Structure 1
C-alpha cells in the first residue's frame, strides 16, 4: 500500500524486524527516501516491482530492506539452509557495493542472514566452498552466476524466492542479454522479482517481459537531478588550452575545495590530466577501465574514506554508447571493447560518497551521460556543485542538456560561471610550460607504468594484505608517475600572481615560496665581514669574553 502524500511513512511503521531497524539506526537513516517509502511496503506485500528513481535516491536500500525482511521471516519456518535470493548487478564494482550495503543492513543479524559476493575474478572451483555453505543471498554479475549454475556450484530451482536486477537499464547494453536468458532457465517458475533502474529504457521493458509477473511500476514524479538549492550547475565556455589553465587555477588557488571527481572522455586524457596536475604538485589518482578490478574498487573505497581528494575518471563507455547506439542487436564488437563495456562505467552506479564537486573537463556527449556524471554529487541530503568546461566543439551537446534540464520558468538550470579570464593571464606561461612536458610519449609511458605497478601490487601483495588488512591503507594510488620532466618552480604560486580578489580570501594560505627559503634571510642590515662575525660571537661567549683583574 503506497503512502499518502501528506504523511511520510517512517521505517518503524513498515512492520520491519527490530534487527533491521537497529541496523538502519546505526547507519544514521532517520527517514526513508521517496523511493524507499513507496517501494518497501509494496515489496513486503509480495508484489513484483519495476522502479525508476534518480541516481543517489536510495534504490539499493529500497530492495535490500524487504529482501532481508523476507529471509528473516522465511527462516522462522525453514527446515534447512538454502539460497533464497539472488541480486544481479551488471559490473563487479557494483556487486561489491551492493554486497557491502546488504552486510550493513544485516549487521545485527549476521548469524541468521549470510550474503556472498561471487563476482570476484577467481576460479569457479575456488568459490565452490563458499557456495556449498548455501548463503541466503548471492550477489553477482549475470555471466558469473550463469557459470556457477552450469558448474552446479549453485542450485536455485527449488529454493529461490526473490530475484533482484539492479541497474536494469545496463544489463542488455553491457552485453548480458544471452546470459540472462540462459540463466532464467535455471530458476523456478514462481518467485518475486524487483527491477531497479535510473531510466525506463527499451532494455528495461524487454527485461520486464522476461522477469516480472503483473508488476507494480513506480515511476516517481521527480527530476532526474536534485533541486537547485541542493545542486548548483555551472558551465564555462573556453578554448581547449584554457581548460587546462582554468583547472590549474581553480585547484591551485583553492577555489574548488573538498572531494572532486574530474571526468574526461578517454584514457589518454585521463593520464594527460594527471601528469599535468603533477607539474604543480597537485596529487590525484586515475580511475579507468585499464586498471585491474580490485584496484578500481580499492581506489573508490579509499576515496570514500578521505585518503584522496581528487580523482581523474575516464568515462569512455558513455562515448562508445553515443557512437554505436545502445539498442542495436547486430553489432560487431572487438574483444577489447566488449570487455570494457561489460565491466566498467565510472558515471553509473558506483557509490562515491560525500563528493563536493564534479568537473566535466570533457563535456559528456549525451544528456543521459551528463545526468549520471553530475549525479555522483549531491546524493541523499548533501549538497554539491558541477562545473562543465565547454569548448567550441562541445556546444551542441551543451545545448541539448540545457534544453532538457530547465526550470519551471523555462530557464536552464546550468548557469554561466562568472570568472574573469583576465585575472589569471599571469598563470598562462606556467600552464604552457607544464603542457610542453606532458608529451604523447610521457602519456604512453605513464599508462604502461601505472598498469605494471597495479598488476604487480594485485599479484604480489594479495596474500600479504589478506594477513595484514590494516596495511592495505598504505597502498596509495595517487603516487607521482614522473615520466615527464617536472619543473620545480611550478610547485608554488608567487604572491604577485594571486588575483587581488583572492588575497583577502586566502585566510593565511601560503601561495608563495616555501618556508624553508624564507628562513634563510633572518639577519637584516648591512652585511657583516668575517672578522666582525667572529668578534660578535666571541663577545657572546662568556668563556672568551671573561677578563680577570688582579687585586
Structure 2
C-alpha cells in the first residue's frame, strides 16, 4: 500500500516518544522531523513494515533508529530476560560504523537500558563472541558478517528478534549479498517487523521487498533528487583535461573555493596524482579510497567532520557498485586488493561540506546525484562545481537532461562559472612544472607508502587508541607523502600571478606597489566593504559558521608560530 500524502504530520513531541529519546533528539539539535521522519516514525510505531525512498541526507537513519529504540524501551517494561530485539544491516562497514554512532547518540539518555554493538569489523569471529553472548538489544553489521556469526552459533535470533532494518537497500544485491540475505531469513522468526531504506527503488529493491517485507507501506516522497536551487548552486567549467590541475591550483590559492570541500576523481591513481600535485603548493589534503583500511577511512571521515581537514580527495569507483560493468583481467586483479564494500559517494555522513568539486566528471547520472548529495544537507547551503573536458560534455548533457526532467524545471541546471582562463596563464606554467614531478613511479610509491602507514595506523586504532582516545587527534592523514620534491617558493603566490580583477578588488594592484617599490605576495583576504557579487571570479557559497570558527583557529595558530 502507498501512504496517503494528506496524512496529518506530527512533531517529535507529538509522536508518543519516550522522554529519554526526546532529550537525545534535543541534544542533537533536531528541532523538527524531516519529511521522511514525519511519515515513517508513526507508521513504524504502529508495527507496519516500511519501504522508504528518500534522497541522501534526508534523515533516513533517524527515521528507523528512533522507532527501533522506542519499541525496545516499551518492551523492557514487561520483558523477563535480555535478548536481541533488532538487527540493522548495511552494505558497508563504514555505514555500520555510522549507524552505530547514530544509535549511540539517540540512546545517550538511556544507554543502560538499550545496548548496541557493531560487529562489522573484520576480526576473528571468536573475538566478538563475548559481545554477542551478552545479548545486546541492537546488533549492527553487514549481511555476510551476520550470517557468519549465525553459522558459528554466536547469535540466535530465531526466538527473540522483533525488527530488522536494511539501510541503503539498493546496494545490498549489487555488493553480492543476495544469497546472504536469503540465508539469514531462514534463521529468523516467521513474524517480525522490517524496514527497507533506499535512495532509489530499482529492480533490486523490488526483489528485496518480496523477500523481506509483508504488506509494506511504501513511502515515496515527492521530492527532487537534489536539494532545491536556493540551497544548492551547480556550476561547471569547460576546460581541457590538462587545464584541470592549473584550475584547482588557482581556485584554492586565490581562495575562490572556501570551506570544507570534497574533490571527486574516478580512480585511485587520480587520487594520489592530485594529492601529490597539491602537496607541491603547500595545500594539504587527505585521500579516501577503497585501498585504505576501514578503520582509517572511518577515522578520516570523523576528523573531516570535526574540522581537522579542509579537503578530501575521494575516488568514486562506480565499478564496485555496478556488477554489469565489463572488467578486464587487470581490473579484476586490482579489485581483489580493494574493499568491495566501499563507495564514498553513497551513505557516508560527511558534515558541513561547503563544496563538492567533480575534478573528474562522474560516469553515470546516479553517481553525479550521490556525489553532489554530500553538500547542501539539512538547513545548510552548498555548491557543486564540475570540471568538464570535451570528452565529458556528453555526460554533462545527460545529467542536465535528467535533472530537468525529474525536477520539472525548464531553467538550465548548470551555471557557467565565470572564470577567464586567460587570466591564469602564470598558474598554468607553474602547474606544468609541478606535473612533471608527478610521475607514475611517484604515484605508485605514494600509494604504497600511504597504505603501509595507514595499515600501521589501523592497528594503532584498534588497540592503543581504545585506551588513549586523546591521541587520535595527533594522528593526521594529510601529511606530505614526500615522493616528489617540494620547493618552498611554490607554496606562495607572487602578486604578478594574481589576475588584475582580483588585484583591484583586494587593493593590491600596481599603484600600491609603485609607492612601496616592493614586490608583495598575494594575500587573499578581501576588505570587508568589498561585495562578493562584484567579483567576476565569484567565490563559492560556504557555511559561514564553520568557516569563521576555522579561520579564527588558524589565525591563533599562525600567531602562535610567529
Query: What TM-score does the superposition give when structure 1 sets the normalisation length?
Result: 0.89
Shift of 1:504: 5.0
Tell me, which stretches of 5 or more residues in structure 2 are unaligned? 509-518, 524-562
Match of 1:215 in 2: 216
Asked if structure 2 preserves the Cα contact closer than 8 Å seen for 1:403 and 1:412, the reply is no
Partner of 2:352: 354
For the residue of structure 2 that corresponds to 1:15, the secondary structure is: coil
With over 3 angstroms needed to count, the CA separation of the structure-2 counterparts of 1:503 and 1:6, relative to structure 1, is farther
Cα-to-partner distance string for 1:291-337 (whole Å, 9 max, x where unaligned): 11100000000000000000000111x145568349x9xx9994753
Match of 2:382 among 384, 388, 407: 384
Contact 2:353 2:375 in 1 (8 A): yes
CA distance in 2, matches of 1:29, 1:373: 24
CA distance 1:507–1:284, change in 2 (3 Å): farther
Q: Does the CA contact (< 8 Å) of 1:287 and 1:312 recur in 2?
A: yes
Question: Which residue in the other structure is 1:488 paired with?
Answer: 488
Counterparts in 2 of 1:403 and 1:338: CA distance versus 1, 3 Å: farther
Give the Cα–Cα distance (whole angstroms) in 2 for the partners of residues 150 and 332 of structure 1. 34
The question of 1:434 aligning with 2:434 is answered yes
* Structure 1 gap ranges (5+): 516-551
Query: 1:274-296 deviations in whole A, cap 9, x for unaligned?
Result: 00000100000011111111000
Alignment of 1:450-529 (within 5 A): 450-460=450-460, 462-506=462-506, 512-513=520-521
| Aligned-residue offset at 1:346 | 0.3
Note if contact 1:405-1:412 (Cα within 8 Å) is conserved in structure 2: no
SS of the aligned residue for 2:264 comes to strand
CA–CA separation in structure 1 for the residues paired with 2:419 and 2:331:
43
Instruction: Give the conservation status (yes or no) of the 8 Å contact 1:233–1:385.
Output: yes
Distance 1:213 1:462 in 2: 40
- 1:101-180 equivalences under 5 Å are 101-180=102-181
Partner Cα distance (1:490, 1:475) in 2: 26
Give the CA deviation at 1:215: 0.1
Q: Name the SS for the 1:342 alignment partner.
A: coil
The Cα offsets for residues 231-284 of structure 1, whole Å up to 9 and x where unpaired, read as 000111110111111111001110001100000000000000000000100000
Q: Work out whether residues 495 and 522 of structure 2, in 8 Å CA contact, stay in contact via their aligned partners in 1.
A: no
1:23-71 Cα shifts (integer Å, max 9, x gaps)? 1011100011000001111101000000000110000000000000000
CA distance in 1, matches of 2:398, 2:495: 42
Q: Confirm or deny that 1:375 pairs with 2:373.
A: yes
* TM-fit CA distance, 1:2: 6.7
**Structure 1: how far apart are the matches of 2:441 and 2:506?**
37
What's 1:539 paired with? Answer: none
Deviation (angstroms), 1:121: 1.6
- CA-CA distance at 1:460 after TM superposition: 5.0
Q: Tell me, in whole angstroms, the C-alpha distance in 1 between the residues paired with 2:398 and 2:226.
A: 16
Which residue of 2 is the match for residue 363 of structure 1? 361
1:119 is displaced (CA, Å) by 0.4
8 Å CA contact 1:48, 1:212 repeated in 2: yes
Cα separation, 2, equivalents of 1:163 and 1:6: 25
What's the CA shift string for 1:381-417, capped at 9, x where partnerless? 1110000001111111111101011154422312111
Is 2:394 the counterpart of 1:393?
no
Structure 1 partner of 2:244:
243
Tell me, in whole angstroms, the C-alpha distance in 2 between the residues paired with 1:479 and 1:364. Answer: 28
Q: Which residue of 1 aligns with 2:23?
A: 22
Partner of 2:61: 60
Could you tell me which residue of structure 1 aligns to residue 232 of structure 2? 231
Residue 321 and residue 26 in structure 1: after superposition, are their counterparts in 2 closer, same or farther (change >3 A)?
Answer: closer
How far off is 1:120 after superposition?
A: 1.1
Partner of 2:242: helix, strand, or coil?
helix
Q: Secondary structure at the match of 2:52?
A: strand
Shift of 1:463: 2.6
Q: Give the match's secondary structure for 2:463.
A: helix
Given that 1:260 and 1:358 are in contact with CA atoms closer than 8 Å, whether structure 2 keeps it comes out as yes
Which whole-Å deviations, capped at 9, do the CAs of 1:461-515 have from their partners, x for residues lacking one?
Answer: 643222211011100000000111223221100011111222355599xx95599
1:295 and 2:303 aligned: no
8 A contact 1:2–1:41 mirrored in 2: no
Residue number in structure 1 paired with 2:541: none
Contact 2:494 2:522 in 1 (8 A): no
The 1:267/1:512 distance shift into structure 2, 3 A limit, reads farther
Deviations 1:338-360 (A, max 9, x none): 67463100000000000000000
